[in-house]
Amino acid sequence: MVSVRRASRPSYQASPSVIARKRVYVLFILMTGVFIALIFRLGWVQIVKGPELHARALEQRMRPVPVDPRRGTVYDRNLRELAVSISADSVYAIPAEIRDPVAAARQLASVLEMGQDTLLAKLTTRQQTVWLKRKVEHDVAARIKEMSAPGIGVAESGQRFYPRDTLAAQVIGIAGIDNQGLEGLEQLYDSELRGVRGQIVAERDATGKEIPEGEHSYAPAKDGNSIVLTIDEVIQYICERELERAIADTRSEKGIILAMDPKTGEVLAMAMRPTFNPNDYGRYPSSLRRNIAVCDMLEPGSTFKVVTSAAALEEGVVTPTTGFYDAGHIKVEDRTIRCWKAGGHGSQTFTEAVENSCNPVFATIAIRLGPETFARYVRAFGLTDKTGIDFPGEAVGMMHSASRMGPVELATSGFGQGISVTPLQLLNALCAIANGGTLMQPMLVREVLDPSGALVRQFAPTRIRQVISERSARQLSAILESVVVNGSGARAAVPGYAVAGKTGTAQKPERGRYGDKRVASFMGYAPANDPRVAVLVVLDEPKTDIKYGGVLAAPAFAAVMRDVLRYMEIPPMDVAGAPTQQLASIVATVPDVIGKTNQESLAMLRAAGFGVRAEGAGDVATNQVPKAGSRVAAGTTVVVYFGPEELYDLEDDFVEVPDVTGKTLKEAVLLLGARGLAVQPEGRGIVSRQQPSAGAAVRRGSAITITLEE
């Protein structure tokens, strides 16, 4: 057998030159692709992302130093400053510029009175700028500047200062070290008051050194706007002064005095004790910063009877002369509701029941109204909703719902037990009676001003709803006036003025039961025929044997109202013998009594139907207010100033000029007028200069120029 062997094919092998040529082609293609990709990437970076990367690089080279704006001023209604910003120095560091943080921390520790470790941590932080210490003393700032340490600087910033210290502290609130509002109106209006922070920026290299001819920029801070409150500094001071006296006299735990304009809802004063100093608020417990007039509730007690009375008059359940009989108690289901007077008041009209603050009568009236109607009027007076006042953290009043209000709950609610309201809600309800039946929204801020003083925004009084008719409001106002004239509010009377008001004494609930602790209160308004101001006084837990509001709170109300009416220059009126509404409609001419003797002056004024109040010691009338010939309401009290006869010697053409420096305009006018001299005032405030000077002899009738300054 013959074997056949196949010849194998020879394998093909490329020559070295061909292989080399292919490798060159592949490498060329790869390099071309990489080159094209680099071109595209370069274009993307340079053209598309160029502006963004340039900005980021610039940001890394820039070292900003913040510039704080000046926080806006808080003014009272007459543009008196209540909170201002003053300049203060703060020390900052730029960590990137500090070459030896350990040495810098050691050097700064003694100057800033800070721990070296604390400073070192701040100096080595990765932030661009860091505050080392805020609000340093001037001498400390001067020493830091003298050190000229790289990366350490001093920046001026604003510091909040309250020039009136504790005045209206819980209303204004506080601002923190970083120029931010923390509490009160400072917090609520922080966006207006804060302003916009600025900065100083300089371009620096990687070592932190400033680049010559580098970019520099300054973005100025925008100062904050200012706010003008409805608070009147003088009325606020009067309320705080009398509240301190009342608390000291009664040894109460705390107290509140509120004053409002019944026609507009503007809060004129909001005083609370105990209080704190916002310039050093860290030394006081935080509880003292709470605005208890807005944020806390209390049982109103008998002051709430004005709401029950308004509902009863409006619904026709009673009239001022409706008769009641008080046996000293009333039985409601299984409960006995007792009168504060043992044996009761016997037969009395509705007006007398309000004067006597008789609980059984008001329990009866509430039951006659029924739960639905009673609850509707409580809601209408705004006692179960927020008032809408521009203040943070306002509380809401509470009461039983109509569906869950049984006869006992309804009866006790009628005289203010088992109901909780805020002091502000209570006074606002009274204002609705004083102004003719309209519920207004309380307000604390009137205007917002820009840093130049131009008006940015103005807040107008807001009418919420008509609660009762004007007729019912007039009837109730006359009854509340009778409470002061004939009833439990006698200690709230202000001579020369018609005052309407209501006393209140509430038991404080403790652990679900009523104990021995009391809240004594009084609220009212004046003048009763044309109310200009309403005031609420609350004394919490007085430590006296007698705890009635008519005994403890009413005198404080009278003291406040007397000074406020005088400050507001509301002329006194004599209401003896005629209702206030009738006096306003009878106009009479004031006779001239200057130069008359004491007896002659009094006889002339009384014969003309005017009341008289004598001031000074002497036999001859030297001045009178209102002036002779004035057309005023009959019954107005005329104030007559008497002096020695030699002050009114008509035979003598020359008089000696008295010294009026340091006196108010009104005091200066009265003093100069008593000597027959005219007044030419310039400016406002207190008399600082006068021309001719004190002691000079001038002709009677001469004008004395007085310069007044704030």
Q: Strands 631-633 and 587-589: what pairing?
A: antiparallel
Q: Which residues contact 443 (CB under 8 A, 6 or more apart)?
A: 230, 264, 265, 266, 267, 389, 390, 459, 461, 462
Q: State which H helix or E strand residue 65 sits in.
A: strand 62-67
Contact 410, 366 (CB under 8 A): yes
DSSP SS3 for 578: coil
Beta-carbon contacts of residue 490 (< 8 Å; ≥ 6 apart): 484, 550, 554
Residue with tokens 């003694």, as numbered in its chain: 110
Could you give the 3-state DSSP secondary structure of residue 470? helix
Tokens 């806390």 correspond to what residue?
296
Number of neighbours of residue 275 by Cβ within 10 angstroms = 20
Residues noted as catalytic: 302
CA distance 27 to 329: 114
The b-or-e profile of 584-612 (16+ CB within 10 A means b, else e) is beeeeebbebbebebeebbebbeeeebbb
Angle at 662 between CA 661 and CA 663, to 5 degrees: 95
Residue 430 in 3-state DSSP? helix
In the 8-state DSSP scheme, what is residue 70? P
CA-to-CA separations, 471 to 319, 478, 581, in angstroms, rounded: 12, 11, 13
Q: How far apart are CA 208 and CA 93, in angstroms?
A: 12
In sequence order, the 6+-apart residues with CB closer than 8 A to the CB of 400 are: 409, 413, 418
Closest CA to 410 of 374, 457, 439: 374
Instruction: Tell me if the bond preceding 66 is cis, omega within 30° of 0.
Output: no
Whether the bond into 692 is cis, omega within 30 of 0: yes
Q: Among 420, 472, 422, 456, which residue's Cα sits nearest to residue 442?
A: 422
C-alpha closest to that of 623 among 662, 578, 582, 658: 658
Type of residue found at 546: I
Residue by residue, DSSP assigns 373-392 as HHHHHHHHTTSSS----SST
In this structure, what token pair is assigned to residue 53? 């990367």
DSSP code, position 469: -
Residues 151 and 58: their CA atoms lie apart, in Å, by 19
Three-state secondary structure call for residue 196 = strand
Residues 546/555, Cβ–Cβ less than 8 Å:
no
Token pair listed for 575: 């209401």
Place of tokens 């104030």: 639
Three-state SS for 408? helix
DSSP state of 269: E
Q: How many other C-beta atoms are found inside a 10 Å radius of the C-beta of residue 44? A: 11
Is the separation of the CB atoms in 229 and 82 below 8 Å? yes
Taking CA atoms, 390 is separated from 145, 172, 265, 488, in Å, by 44, 12, 12, 35
If we measure between CA atoms, which residue out of 372, 379, 374 comes closest to residue 464? 379
Cβ partners under 8 Å of residue 251, min gap 6: 542, 543, 544
Q: What is the CB-side half-sphere exposure of residue 340 using CA atoms within 13 A?
A: 18
